[in-house]
Structure 1
Amino acid sequence: MSVEKAATDVALSAQGLRLGYGDLTAVWDVDIDVRPGRTTALLGRNGAGKTTLLSGLIGLLTAKSGTVTLHGKDITRLPPWTRVDRGLAIVREGKRIFRTLTVVENITVGMPKKLSRAGRAEALERIWEDFPVLAERRGQLGGQLSGGQQQMLSIATAVVARPTVLLVDEPSSGLSPLAVDQVLEVIDKLKADGLAILLVEQIVEEVLSGYADDVVLIDQGRVMLREPADRVSVDQITAVMFGTGS
Structure 2
Amino acid sequence: MFDLTGKKAIITGGGSGIGRAISLLFGKQGAEVHILELNESAASAVRDEIKEAGGKAFSHAVNVSDQSEMLAVVQGIGAVDILVNNAGIAHVGNLENCKVEDFERVYSVNVKGAYNALFSVIPLMKERKKGAILNLASIASQVGITDRFAYSMSKGAIAAMTLSVARDYIDYGIRCNSISPARVHTPFVDGFIAKNYPGKEEEMFAKLAASQPIGRMAKPEEIASLALYLCSDEADFITGNDYPIDGGFIKLNN
**Would you call these one fold, judging by a TM-score over 0.5?**
no
Shorter-chain TM band? 0.3 to 0.5
Q: Which has the higher contact order (CA 8 A, sep 6+)?
A: 1
Return the structure number with greater strand share: 1
TM-score, structure 2 normalization:
0.33
Return the structure number with greater helix share: 2
